[in-house]
Amino acid sequence: MKRQQHLLESQYTVVTERFNVSGVVKYKDKQKDLQYVQQYQPQKEGIRYLRVLLYGPVGPGKSSFINSASNVFQEQMTIPAFANATASNKSFTRVYETHKFSKGRGSSKTFFPVAFNEIMGLEEGEDRGVHADDIKLALEGHVMEGYTFNPASPLIKNNIGYNRTPSADDKVHVLVCVVSANAPEINPSVLKKMKSIRETATDLRIPQIAIMTHIDDACGEIQKDLQNVYKSKYLRKKMKDFSADMGIPLNCIFPVKNYSEEIDLKDDVDFLILSALKKMVDFGDNFIEKHC
């Protein structure tokens, strides 16, 4: 137990490296990281987009994170994914859709080569929310664009929506678990599904990280000043507990605040989102290079 605690403490130190001793964000890194993710290009033939799949329980803000990532990539407020602003115990997302972020306008319009898919939220019970098997199929590229998830029946071969011959471009290159720092403990049956998905991704050698959202709602100190994120004892415990539950290393769990009520971009919000995006690009590119 002491050895595990020491490991978690060491990992947490790694997580805070990009903040100075007083906990203040090093904003000078923001522009460097922004250029890094904007200028990234997959180097394998046949792969146009580094594909990121978001999964997790209902309600942590998967769609909102996609919108927030779009804001950062395009350096303006955008809404590529429909997000639900009201609390609910049912998943808002039901259709498998790829979200790409445009650059340029008119005839010169292209897309940044990082694409996001989100999946219907995991719910308690066998016939509620997305089936874990559907997420496993998505990892291998077998879920077609526009497929509508059916809680009563997982996708199977010969069904409409099943991609028999996925390309390397259809497959997932990074798996991201999205959870809320402001939510109670994850239901055991939902956690079991999440672990099963993680095991499948591990078997496929797909890299994984986690995003912890709603950090400002979870901690008054962070709500007062987002730069207190790595000084929050509450958030630190929340991240450590989730790491222990899921087995995701602490330095692969990224606290973020999604854009929700802001009307303009903010450096401290962008910085946390960029930290997560940069790691997605690093891990995804390494996977593409080695396994695609």
How is the beta sheet containing 208-213 ordered, strand by strand?
98-99, 114-118, 50-55, 174-180, 208-213, 253-255
CA distance 181 to 238: 7
**Which tens digit of pLDDT belongs to each residue from 219-232?**
999 999 998 998 89
pLDDT reported for residue 108: 78
pLDDT category, 85, cuts 50, 70, 90? Answer: very low
Taking residues 244-258, report their average pLDDT: 96
The length of the chain, given as a count of residues: 292
Cα–Cα distances (Å) from 285 to 29, 131, 138, in that order, read 21, 28, 19
pLDDT category, 120, cuts 50, 70, 90? Answer: confident
pLDDT reported for residue 88: 46
Predicted structure pTM score: 0.88
pLDDT category, 158, cuts 50, 70, 90? Answer: confident
pLDDT reported for residue 16: 52
Taking residues 74-95, report their average pLDDT: 64
Q: Is the pLDDT of residue 162 over 60?
A: yes
SS3 57: strand
